[in-house]
Structures are given as structure tokens and as C-alpha cells.
């Protein structure tokens, strides 16, 4: 950790020498460790101390961006110069409203010393518990246990100087028999919240339940989607639907559907960076405070998130979802998504199904088929089961689905009262707090051999 005072002292010094009209400096530093295991041994065990310092310099309406991972004064000065040189080559960005000024930020605790102090030895100890637990029932495991700490600072010459320290801990576990697998996942800012043994038990039980899976014909089925499965779908819905670029480009399902019914009444999805039950963060990478944004409320399309440039283009203020300057071409993206809970427990859902499929998670989803209709495709993975007459009958071989989420989430029969934090599949930042969903119809279009 460099620390707030030291960082801002350095940035003030560098920014003072800037010849740009406005200068922004964003710092993202981290110490990260990940212990990866497969076949119930640790086979990869890595540590990384890294940082990124991004300069955004403004000449009129021209924007230059340059970055480095060196905090030396000379390298910072050189990067600042690079950024100004780039701005000189730029064309005017008519949508750029200027850098923001200071605002009041919520005070939230996102740093836990216990997570920051967690060592490779500590992670190995937890991972060994997973092996022992699974081995008792003759299962092998694969997965990863990660811990890390970091600091994020946003500084600009218009007076913004916000700073936050963060920690993260996560584990994913796949338990495997010869014919089946089961999955569990945990995520928190606080490593003590990760109960590796309990999560190992869940993964093992799922693998046990799915032993010797039977084939199931593709077709329309009633489904129960566990939180990881729901989060995987909504992660794609977010990627192609909740961001400002997709909205402006008209590729989002929300582009022409604000105020219109898009899903069933019980479906409410929003972003809340300040809710400390998830991976909260008080400001975005432009130094704008996070605002709560509803995407779908009681089934009605409500809105998307904006950064300062895309917000100005659409005549609305930033919602505090700006990415780092190097990623501004992607527009604003939500990183703290919550799905409203319901009152039907997973057990009640299963008991109410005459014939249907229980899905633990999905794999390799892709949503570029027809983005305004939210058509996604993907495979089930690590625990797919047939439900008959209110009971789980047996595991089934994995299935491919191809369906419109507008259609599927218009058939909601129940939502669980609890939700679980599910980390992003492809990104180390962001998560979705998802409950389980009971859907009346979900279209499986293919099968596989395992």
C-alpha cells in the first residue's frame, strides 16, 4: 500500500507541471495472490504486485490518455507528456463535458486487514481442507482461492481527490466423480466470510447427486436456475443491455423499451455501488459518486448507466459508472448488480415442479445472436438434474440452451428469498447478487455426451 497522502502528494506535484487545461490521474494498485488447484493438488500458486497510473489530459475538447505501471516521478512525468502529445493529435470530442469537480462520497468500509494479510500459506491451508473434505467421499477437486488488497485513487485538477482501499477474497470449487461434477463459489471483501469447508461440501454433494447422468432430450422445460446460473445469464444481459454504449448504439434491448414491460412483474434488477452486502465502491473511475440505477423494475424497462461523456451525449448526468479513461470507448458499465429477491425457497421450487430441470450454472454463454431480443446461447455445467413430481430424480447430461431472456424471464414462477454473490466469469472486477429463479419455460436446443 502506498497510502492516500503519499499518492496525492505525488499526483499534485506531477499535475502542477501539466500544461493541459485539465488533468486527471487515476491510480489502481494491488497485491494479489491466487492458489489454483486441480486433481486435488496445488498446481499454480501466484502473487502479483502491480499498479496502473492513467493520465487523462484535456486540451479544449481534445482528450489524451496515457498510462504506465511505474510510480517513479520521471516515468509519471513522461506519461503525462505522452498524454498531452496524444491530446494534441486528437479531434474535438463534442460530447466531452469537462472533468468533474469534487463531490461528497459515501463513507463505506471496503478493506479488511484479515484479507490483506492472508498469505500463500493461509490459502494452502484452506485448500487442503477442501481436498480432505472431498477425498472423504472419493472426489477430486479443482478450483482457485484468491485474496488481494488494493487502493484506488482518482485525482484531477478541478479538485477531485477520492481514495479507497479495498480487499477481495473468492473461491470456486468443482468436485468431480468419474461421471459428474458439482460447483460452488464464494466471494466477499472479508476472507473470514469464505467457508471453504461448507463450499466444498456443496460441490461434493452436487457431484454425488449427478453421478451417472442420463441423457435428456432437448426441448422447452420448466427450469430452476440456481444463483450462479442466474448470475451468468444476467452478466451477459448486463454486457449487452445495461451499459450506455449498447443503449446509444441501439443494440440494447432497453434502447426502445424504457417504460415498457420487458419481463415478468417480479423481476427487478438494479445497480447499487453503495450496498455493502456486495463488492461496494463509493465512486467511479472519473471520481463521480455511485448512484443507484434501476434497469428493470417490476418487469418494466427503466434505464441504463452513464459516464460523463455518454451521459452528456444523452442529456443526462453521469450515474457514477465510468470506467478508466483507456476504456471510455466502451461507455459506462454496471459493476454492482442486484436482483431483487422473492419468497419461494429452492426447496419449494423443486417441490412445485412436475417435470423440469435444475441448473447449477452455465458455461460459455454468448449473447451476440440478436442483442435487442436478448437471445443467449450456452451450455449447462457442473450439476444439471431432472426434477419429476417435485423431486430431483437424477443428473442429466449437459444441455445447450438458445433462448430469448425476454421470453424466459417473462415466465417467472418464483424467486428465492436469499441471494448469493457471484463473481464475474471473465473479469476480476464486479459481481452480481443473484437469487435462484423458477421459470415456467426455458428452451434447450442441444445436448452433449457428458
Restricting to residues 136-195, name those near other proteins by CB under 8 A.
140, 142-144, 146, 172, 174, 176
The total number of residues written for the chain in this structure: 450
Residue 57: which region, alpha, beta or left (left: phi > 0; alpha: psi -120 to 50)? Answer: beta
* Closer residue to other proteins, CB minimum distance, 295 or 444: 444
Q: Which of 5, 16, 74, 91 is in the footprint of other proteins by CB under 8 A?
A: 91
Q: Which is nearer to other proteins, 128 or 298 (CB)?
A: 128
Return d(Cα 358, Cα 350) in angstroms, integer. 8
Q: What is the dihedral of CA 335, 365, 340, 424, to 10 degrees?
A: -30
Closer Cβ to other proteins, 315 or 329, answer by number: 329
As measured in angstroms, the least distance from the Cβ of 53 to other proteins is 10
Query: The C-alpha cell of 255 is what?
Result: 434502447
Rounded CA separation 373/394 (Å)? 33
Name residues contacting other proteins, limited to 6-25 (CB under 8 A). none
Interface residue with other proteins among 65, 202, 281, 337 (CB under 8 A) is 65
- Alpha helices in 279-391, H assignment, sequence order: 308-314, 346-351
Q: Which stretch binds other proteins (CB under 8 A): 2-10, 20-28, 80-88, 333-341?
A: 80-88
Identify the residue among 17, 109, 119, 276 touching other proteins (CB under 8 A).
119
Compose the 326-365 pattern: x for residues touching other proteins by CB under 8 A, - for all others.
xxxx---------------------------------xxx
Interaction of residue 135 with other proteins, rule CB under 8 A = no
Q: Which long-range contacts (CB under 8 A, 24 or more apart) does 403-406 make?
A: 403/375, 403/376, 403/442, 403/443, 403/445, 404/370, 404/373, 404/374, 404/375, 404/376, 405/233, 405/237, 405/263, 405/374, 405/375, 405/376, 406/253, 406/262, 406/263, 406/373, 406/374
Q: Per CB under 8 A, does 411 bind other proteins?
A: no
Residue 124 or 274: which CB sits closer to other proteins? 124
Residue list 391-410, contact with other proteins (CB under 8 A): 398, 400, 402, 404
Scanning 16-24, 27-35, 276-284, 383-391 for contacts with other proteins by CB under 8 A, the matching segment is: 27-35
Q: Which of residues 304-323 bind other proteins (CB under 8 A)?
A: 309
Task: Report if residue 66 touches other proteins, rule: CB under 8 A.
Answer: yes
Amino acid at each position: 500500500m502506498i497510502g492516500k497522502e503519499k499518492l496525492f502528494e505525488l499526483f499534485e506535484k506531477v499535475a502542477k507541471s501539466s500544461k493541459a487545461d485539465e488533468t486527471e490521474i487515476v491510480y489502481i494498485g494491488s497485491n494479489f495472490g491466487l492458489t489454483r488447484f486441480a486433481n486435488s493438488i496445488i498446481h499454480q500458486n501466484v502473487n502479483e504486485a502491480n499498479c496502473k497510473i492513467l493520465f487523462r489530459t484535456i486540451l479544449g475538447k481534445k482528450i489524451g490518455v496515457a498510462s504506465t505501471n511505474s510510480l517513479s516521478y520521471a516515468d509519471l512525468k513522461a506519461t503525462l507528456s505522452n498524454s498531452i502529445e496524444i491530446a494534441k493529435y486528437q479531434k474535438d470530442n463534442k460530447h466531452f463535458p469537462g472533468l468533474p469537480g469534487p463531490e461528497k462520497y459515501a463513507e463505506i468500509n471496503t478493506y479488511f486487514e484479515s484479507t490483506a494479510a492472508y498469505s500463500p500459506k493461509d490459502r494452502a491451508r484452506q485448500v487442503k481442507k477442501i481436498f480432505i473434505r472431498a477425498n472423504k467421499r472419493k472426489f477430486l477437486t479443482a478450483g482457485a482461492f484468491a485474496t488481494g488488497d488494493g487502493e484506488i485513487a482518482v485525482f484531477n485538477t478541478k479538485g477531485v481527490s477520492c481514495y479507497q482501499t479495498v480487499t477481495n477474497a473468492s473461491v470456486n470449487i468443482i468436485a468431480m466423480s468419474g461421471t459428474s461434477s458439482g460447483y460452488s463459489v464464494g466471494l466477499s471483501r472479508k476472507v473470514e466470510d469464505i467457508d471453504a469447508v461448507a463450499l466444498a461440501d456443496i460441490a461434493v454433494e452436487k457431484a454425488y447427486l449427478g453421478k451417472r447422468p442420463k441423457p435428456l432430450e432437448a426441448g422447452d422445460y420448466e427450469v430452476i436456475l440456481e444463483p450462479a446460473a442466474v448470475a451468468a445469464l444476467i452478466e451477459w444481459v448486463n454486457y449487452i443491455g445495461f451499459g450506455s454504449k449498447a443503449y446509444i448504439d441501439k443494440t440494447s434491448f432497453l434502447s426502445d423499451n424504457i417504460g415498457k414491460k420487458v419481463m415478468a412483474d417480479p423481476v427487478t434488477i438494479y445497480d447499487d455501488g453503495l450496498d455493502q452486502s456486495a463488492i461496494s465502491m463509493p465512486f467511479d473511475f472519473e471520481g463521480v459518486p455511485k448512484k443507484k440505477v434501476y434497469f428493470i423494475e417490476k418487469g418494466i424497462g427503466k434505464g441504463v448507466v452513464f459516464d460523463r461523456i455518454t451521459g452528456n451525449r444523452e442529456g443526462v448526468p453521469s450515474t457514477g459508472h465510468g470506467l478508466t479513461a483507456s476504456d471510455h470507448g466502451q461507455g459506462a458499465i454496471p459493476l454492482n448488480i442486484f436482483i431483487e429477491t422473492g419468497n419461494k425457497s429452492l426447496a419449494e421450487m423443486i417441490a412445485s415442479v412436475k417435470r423440469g430441470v435444475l441448473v447449477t450454472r452455465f458455461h460459455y454463454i454468448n449473447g451476440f445472436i440478436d442483442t435487442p431480443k436478448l437471445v443467449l446461447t450456452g451450455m449447462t455445467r457442473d450439476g444439471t438434474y431432472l426434477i419429476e413430481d417435485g423431486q430431483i430424480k437424477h443428473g442429466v447430461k449437459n444441455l445447450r440452451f438458445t433462448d430469448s431472456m425476454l421470453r424466459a424471464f417473462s415466465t417467472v414462477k418464483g424467486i428465492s428469498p436469499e441471494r448469493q454473490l457471484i463473481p464475474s466469469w471473465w473479469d476480476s472486477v464486479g459481481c452480481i447478487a443473484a437469487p435462484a429463479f423458477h421459470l415456467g419455460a426455458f428452451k434447450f436446443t442441444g445436448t452433449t455426451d457428458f
